[in-house]
Chains A and B, each alone.
Chain A
Amino acid sequence: MPGLFGLSAANPLLLLGALSVASPIIIHLLARRRYRTIYWAAMDFLLDAQKRNRRRVQLEHLILLLLRCLIMILIALLLARLMFTPTGLAALALGTAEVERIVVLDDSPSMSARQGPRSAFDQAKARAIELVDSLIAQRGNNKLTLMLTSNPGRPLFSGEILNEEFGQRFREALEGAGGADDGLQPSDRYAQWAAALEQVRRHIDEQDVSPNRAVYLLTDLREHDFPIDEGEESGEDSVKAAMAALEPHVDSILIVDFGEQDTTNLAITDVQVLEKSIVRDRPTNFSVTVSNFGPTDATGATVRLVAAGAMITRELDAVPAGGEQVVNIPMTFVQTGHEEVVVELEFPDMMPADNTHHLAARVVRGVRILMVDGGDPDLPGAVSGRSEVEFLRHAVDPAGRQRSGHVIRVVSVDEFESLSRRDLQRPDVIYLANVYQLSESRVRELEEYVEAGGGLLIYLGDKARRDFYNDMMHRDGEGLLPVRLIDIEGDPRRETGYSAVPVSTGHQLATIFSPEIMLGARLFLWWHTEIPEDLIDGGQATLISRVDHPQRSPLMVSRNFGLGRVLVTTTGPRPNWNNLINLPVTVVALQRATEWVTRSDAGRGTMLVGSRIVEEIDLARFEPRVRLRPPAGDDVQRLVTTDDETGLTHIMFGGAEEADERARLSAAGFYRLRLSEREGGEVEWLYATNVDPRESDLTRVDAGELVRGYGVEKLGVITGDQVAEAAGTGGGRRELSRTLLTLLVMVLAAELLLGWWFGRRRS
């Protein structure tokens, strides 16, 4: 705001520096206090000289003092960056001042929404061109910067001087050379306005040339993009805070509204795989969520799932306004490997960008199960000379035409101990069946495995060494095992059998232990154990069932450990311990228990646009150079990097620091990471990116409420028609730095010259 006589300062606080005008006076007064005393004989001559000189010396001192005070004032004004807004005759005499216009164009997917023939983005582009044309026609001293919300750090144009040639380039960049569709298109990235405004501020800091800046935000003004009450947690990262931070640096912030009043939009907001793994030859269920962001119910929508050369279509019932509809689509894959799954929504709505969802499916041969066999087939109680693992193996992967979807590998304890760390991370589930004990390092690696999402099933038996399980596995509730072993209980003679009872009825596995299903089940021996109360209270462990015995010993206990799960059964599948192996329901129970602990990786590789791909690469197997193939455009080659601290080798694409535009994962679609194996051959990993579902909600924010809510004085909301009109009013301030600097140099020179002249006259 111009102050007195049209003067204002960019750094008003530094105007306080003008108080330093007192410094020459203070120095003068201080200097007068510092003197030496001389006893002088020729006082008469001195007094005579003083009498003759007094006036002249005083005048000289006064002139020099005034000049020095003026120097201090000029320095303060220079630092405060004094501005002058010419008005009236001054404006006529001085003409127009330099103005920089910073245009931030919202190129998020929501801008592709269209009601008529042209999308909001098309309209915004046209208005931006109009703005530039009108500024060129004004023949003022104008500059223009154009940023996109998808990548504000790299402006399309930065501080370009407006002239005919620039106008042509600008038009071509936005509309394409031939006026066809090869111009600027909306991106698939969510509009992060806080980051964009912060970037505008940084751009201003870097440029710091023009005193007059007008910022235009060309957007559809959605509620999601400009939240008024963002809550405390957003803090300084909020749009409101970013706008407040930007305000002191600019003359005006104009939001140009291109949003449509009609917000009818149907979108696929989520696709989930209900199974934990997509297994070959077994049906996989895709759960598709279709949301209706419009004000009215939507009917007649169709969902199509296209994968592996097959297409399945489902008609949707009416999707309620503001609600959603979930539809399950089963599909069976016949080949292992990576499959592109595309789910499409067919519905005539405003925004087609969110009607497609991509999913990277990893079809596996089966769930990889590693069974560690701790039992001894020669011991009494083994199943016909077989260990427990033999029973478990057949129960989990029964013979027959119907595939279980499980790939089982059985190892002895010694073999398990000698497995490499990398091999240990590979299985989806690990069974520890009646294992005597494990080494400390292996237990620690097992903990890492479960923490990272792996599943662990523990069957206790006669070989289990109590001290090992208590000290290493349970670790007072800190370890993998949720129970502390006390002693083996029951009736070794098998005369008295006990039944199992469910405890936590809410648990998925509790139903296995209902009396109807467990009819006839008899437990003769079990490990009497106890669960620390804080594990139960803290929700880390759940007692699923117990033995129907006065000691109320736990039978099956689950525990969440990191991202993975642990399930422990206190009795083993041995005839002398129980009769469970004779019951058909045991097979079902084992299948379900296995499914429950299995690591989920069906959704792995599917992410939002703008996310990151980070993979650990085994350089023993792969070449260090990898290639990423984006949905469109050339491959991006990159070398595997080694982390100095951990020594891990990994590759990363995307993220805030990504310099390569193709690797920013900005486009929705499929990305393929290609790795060359050292022994020849190539491996390909698939990733899918999707538009942020928040883009689908076209609900608009009220302009008046926005201006009031943000409390930013220089903020205004205009329509596209008013852009060119507003262009004529931006800025007009002139920075007086050059004038002040010239004045300062002149005053300094005058001070030096007069000082020398006065000194010369005296000597």
Chain B
Amino acid sequence: MPKIAGQQFLDPSIIEKIKRMDVRARAVVDGFITGMHKSPYHGFAVEFATHREYVPGDEIKHIDWKVWSKTDRLYIKEYEEETNLKCTIILDCSKSMDYGQTGRDRRGPGKFDYAATIAASLAYLLQSQADQVGLVMFDTAIRKALPASSNPAHLKLILHELDQAKPDHKTDVGDVFHGLAEQIGKRGLVVLVSDLFVDTRTLQETMRHFRHRKHEMVVFHVMHDDEVTFPFQDNVLFKGLEIDMELLTEPRALRRTYLEAVDRFKSQVRRACSTSGIDYVPLSTTDSLDAALSSYLAFRQRAIRGARRR
């Protein structure tokens, strides 16, 4: 498969045209993997499981040279993976995530669409690596919680839930997260996909709670491109998605100050994450989807190295 053909599935504007979430996730992950020089598809346990044919990207050190000497064909030795990573993807389904989903001025994918695609792609990738993956969707309460599992059927369930999900209600991180931190018993990886339109102090506290429970955490801060660039020109009546407020204004007059406020908010979140030792990945709906996957893999590598050191 040519490199470019795979990479085009990392473009959010193209991927949004794929309706089914499972197909979408596979397309994203495959597109992402094709572009890598190193295959992520192998475990790091040592118990042999089976052989498979070499594909470009596989590390040469895993080639079974004995088989080559006998058959003159390249085979890779695969091992029974020892899964020690338990990942819970927490997806924000609040009303604020609904921005850009519909409407005549819609530009690119909606915020929730983008966030769900990231969640699905991560779940697919994790499952491909035989890691356990779970899904929690919340707004003011936990709307759906699928416990972590490495069962392939479980992935289907996750993808199905993501397909069905619709954003609604306000966001309330406080109670939901504290409960979650307690619920996810075994320490593992927590991936939060949200626009984080909550009180930063509450957010910081909840994140600390997760850390306190020894969870590793990655925050994918998803914002719509409109929220990041504020491109409006003519008079607009802004109506709050989560709060009952209206503002009729000339957007050009507010643009600069608004963007400053957004930057300030992102800095606060970044600082909060950094102080809690949490990976923070800001994403806009126009950003390529590989950013999320790359961040995850980088984090995983670090986790593996940390585990080996231990």
Mask: chain B, 235-270; 1 = CB below 8 Å from A; 0 = not: 111111111010111101111111011100100000
- Enumerate chain A residues within 8 angstroms of B111, measured Cβ to Cβ: 41
- Enumerate chain A residues within 8 angstroms of B248, measured Cβ to Cβ: 32, 35
Report the minimum CB–CB distance from B91 to chain A (whole Å).
16
Judged by DSSP, the binding face of B is: mixed
Contact with B252, one of A32, A38, A52, A763 (Cβ below 8 angstroms): A763
A38, A40, A50 — most chain B CB neighbours (10 Å) = A40
Do B232 and A43 touch across chains, with their CB atoms under 8 A apart? no
Do B234 and A36 touch across chains, with their CB atoms under 8 A apart? yes
Given contacts A42-B197, A47-B245, whether A53 and B253 have CB atoms under 8 Å apart is yes
Do A47 and B247 touch across chains, with their CB atoms under 8 A apart? yes
Given contacts A43-B243, A53-B254, A57-B253, whether A48 and B261 have CB atoms under 8 Å apart is yes
Do B256 and A40 touch across chains, with their CB atoms under 8 A apart? no
Interface residues of A in 738-763 (CB under 8 A from B): 759, 761-763
Contact with A57, one of B223, B224, B250 (Cβ below 8 angstroms): B250
Given contacts A43-B247, A57-B250, whether A37 and B197 have CB atoms under 8 Å apart is no
Judged by DSSP, the binding face of A is: helix
Interface residues of A in 175-219 (CB under 8 A from B): none
Do B261 and A34 touch across chains, with their CB atoms under 8 A apart? no
Interface size (A, Cβ < 8 Å)? Answer: 27
Do B254 and A50 touch across chains, with their CB atoms under 8 A apart? yes
Report the minimum CB–CB distance from A645 to chain B (whole Å).
64
A52: nearest chain-B partner, CB-CB: B257
Do A34 and B249 touch across chains, with their CB atoms under 8 A apart? no
Interface residues of A in 575-591 (CB under 8 A from B): none
A34: nearest chain-B partner, CB-CB: B235
Interface residues of B in 34-80 (CB under 8 A from A): none
Contact with B242, one of A34, A43, A57, A759 (Cβ below 8 angstroms): A43
Interface residues of A in 1-44 (CB under 8 A from B): 31-32, 34-44
Do A37 and B257 touch across chains, with their CB atoms under 8 A apart? no
Do A763 and B253 touch across chains, with their CB atoms under 8 A apart? no
A42: nearest chain-B partner, CB-CB: B227
Report the minimum CB–CB distance from B104 to chain A (whole Å).
9
Do A43 and B258 touch across chains, with their CB atoms under 8 A apart? no
Do A45 and B262 touch across chains, with their CB atoms under 8 A apart? yes
Do A36 and B237 touch across chains, with their CB atoms under 8 A apart? yes
Report the minimum CB–CB distance from A132 to chain B (whole Å).
64
Contact with B258, one of A32, A38, A45 (Cβ below 8 angstroms): A45
- Enumerate chain A residues within 8 angstroms of B172, measured Cβ to Cβ: none
B242, B247, B254 — most chain A CB neighbours (10 Å) = B254
Mask: chain B, 97-111; 1 = CB below 8 Å from A; 0 = not: 111000101000001
Do A39 and B250 touch across chains, with their CB atoms under 8 A apart? no
In the bound assembly, the distance between CA atoms of A34 and B243 in angstroms comes to 24
Given contacts A31-B235, A35-B235, A45-B265, whether A40 and B253 have CB atoms under 8 Å apart is no
Do B261 and A41 touch across chains, with their CB atoms under 8 A apart? no
Q: Does A66 contact B (CB under 8 A)?
A: no
- Enumerate chain B residues within 8 angstroms of A36, measured Cβ to Cβ: 105, 234-237
- Enumerate chain A residues within 8 angstroms of B223, measured Cβ to Cβ: 42
Do B261 and A40 touch across chains, with their CB atoms under 8 A apart? no
Report the minimum CB–CB distance from B282 to chain A (whole Å).
14
Report the minimum CB–CB distance from A33 to chain B (whole Å).
9
Report the minimum CB–CB distance from A32 to chain B (whole Å).
7
- Enumerate chain A residues within 8 angstroms of B265, measured Cβ to Cβ: 45
Q: Does B121 contact A (CB under 8 A)?
A: no
Do B258 and A37 touch across chains, with their CB atoms under 8 A apart? no
Q: Does A93 contact B (CB under 8 A)?
A: no
- Enumerate chain A residues within 8 angstroms of B227, measured Cβ to Cβ: 41-42
Given contacts A35-B248, A38-B237, A39-B239, whether A762 and B232 have CB atoms under 8 Å apart is no
Do A41 and B234 touch across chains, with their CB atoms under 8 A apart? no
A44: nearest chain-B partner, CB-CB: B197
Report the minimum CB–CB distance from B55 to chain A (whole Å).
43
Given contacts A43-B245, A49-B258, whether A35 and B253 have CB atoms under 8 Å apart is no
Do B237 and A41 touch across chains, with their CB atoms under 8 A apart? no
- Enumerate chain B residues within 8 angstroms of A683, measured Cβ to Cβ: none
Q: Does B195 contact A (CB under 8 A)?
A: yes
Contact with A49, one of B97, B240, B257 (Cβ below 8 angstroms): B257
Do A40 and B252 touch across chains, with their CB atoms under 8 A apart? no
In the bound assembly, the distance between CA atoms of A57 and B256 in angstroms comes to 12
- Enumerate chain A residues within 8 angstroms of B255, measured Cβ to Cβ: 762-763
Contact with B237, one of A37, A43, A45 (Cβ below 8 angstroms): A37
- Enumerate chain B residues within 8 angstroms of A43, measured Cβ to Cβ: 238, 240-243, 245, 247
Interface residues of B in 201-255 (CB under 8 A from A): 223-224, 227, 232, 234-243, 245, 247-250, 252-255
B94: nearest chain-A partner, CB-CB: A41
Q: Does A63 contact B (CB under 8 A)?
A: no
Do A41 and B235 touch across chains, with their CB atoms under 8 A apart? no
Mask: chain A, 295-318; 1 = CB below 8 Å from B; 0 = not: 000000000000000000000000
Do B241 and A40 touch across chains, with their CB atoms under 8 A apart? yes
In the bound assembly, the distance between CA atoms of A631 and B196 in angstroms comes to 109
Do B237 and A35 touch across chains, with their CB atoms under 8 A apart? yes
Given contacts A32-B235, A36-B236, A46-B238, whether A41 and B96 have CB atoms under 8 Å apart is yes
Report the minimum CB–CB distance from B188 to chain A (whole Å).
30
Do A762 and B241 touch across chains, with their CB atoms under 8 A apart? no
Do A38 and B257 touch across chains, with their CB atoms under 8 A apart? no
In the bound assembly, the distance between CA atoms of A52 and B96 in angstroms comes to 23
Contact with B239, one of A32, A38, A47, A763 (Cβ below 8 angstroms): A38
- Enumerate chain A residues within 8 angstroms of B256, measured Cβ to Cβ: 761-763
Report the minimum CB–CB distance from B141 to chain A (whole Å).
19
- Enumerate chain A residues within 8 angstroms of B98, measured Cβ to Cβ: 39, 41
Contact with A40, one of B97, B235, B240 (Cβ below 8 angstroms): B240
B96: nearest chain-A partner, CB-CB: A41
A34, A37, A60 — most chain B CB neighbours (10 Å) = A37
A34, A35, A45 — most chain B CB neighbours (10 Å) = A45
- Enumerate chain A residues within 8 angstroms of B241, measured Cβ to Cβ: 39-41, 43
A57: nearest chain-B partner, CB-CB: B253
Do B99 and A40 touch across chains, with their CB atoms under 8 A apart? yes
- Enumerate chain B residues within 8 angstroms of A42, measured Cβ to Cβ: 96, 197, 223, 227, 262
In the bound assembly, the distance between CA atoms of A628 and B1 in angstroms comes to 105
In the bound assembly, the distance between CA atoms of A34 and B111 in angstroms comes to 27
In the bound assembly, the distance between CA atoms of A763 and B254 in angstroms comes to 9
Contact with B261, one of A32, A45, A57 (Cβ below 8 angstroms): A45
B100: nearest chain-A partner, CB-CB: A41
B253: nearest chain-A partner, CB-CB: A57
Do B239 and A40 touch across chains, with their CB atoms under 8 A apart? yes
- Enumerate chain A residues within 8 angstroms of B250, measured Cβ to Cβ: 57
In the bound assembly, the distance between CA atoms of A49 and B255 in angstroms comes to 8
Do B239 and A46 touch across chains, with their CB atoms under 8 A apart? no
Report the minimum CB–CB distance from B231 to chain A (whole Å).
11
In the bound assembly, the distance between CA atoms of A154 and B97 in angstroms comes to 85
Given contacts A41-B111, A761-B256, whether A35 and B236 have CB atoms under 8 Å apart is yes
A34, A37, A42, A763 — most chain B CB neighbours (10 Å) = A42
- Enumerate chain B residues within 8 angstroms of A57, measured Cβ to Cβ: 250, 253-254
Report the minimum CB–CB distance from B202 to chain A (whole Å).
14
Given contacts A36-B237, A41-B197, whether A50 and B247 have CB atoms under 8 Å apart is yes
B260: nearest chain-A partner, CB-CB: A49
- Enumerate chain B residues within 8 angstroms of A50, measured Cβ to Cβ: 247, 249, 254
In the bound assembly, the distance between CA atoms of A60 and B237 in angstroms comes to 20
In the bound assembly, the distance between CA atoms of A45 and B268 in angstroms comes to 13
Report the minimum CB–CB distance from B49 to chain A (whole Å).
47
Q: Write 14 A-B pairs (CB below 8 A) sorted by A numbering.
A: A32-B235, A38-B237, A40-B238, A40-B240, A41-B195, A43-B238, A43-B242, A43-B247, A45-B261, A46-B249, A47-B247, A48-B258, A50-B247, A57-B253
Sample of 14 more A-B contacts, CB < 8 Å, known A40-B99, A41-B95, A42-B96: A31-B235, A35-B236, A38-B105, A40-B240, A40-B241, A43-B243, A43-B245, A43-B247, A44-B243, A45-B265, A46-B247, A50-B249, A763-B255, A763-B256
A-B pairs, top 4 by smallest CB distance, nearest first, are A49-B257, A41-B96, A35-B235, A45-B261
A contact set with B: CB distance below 8 Å: 31-32, 34-50, 52-53, 57, 60, 759, 761-763
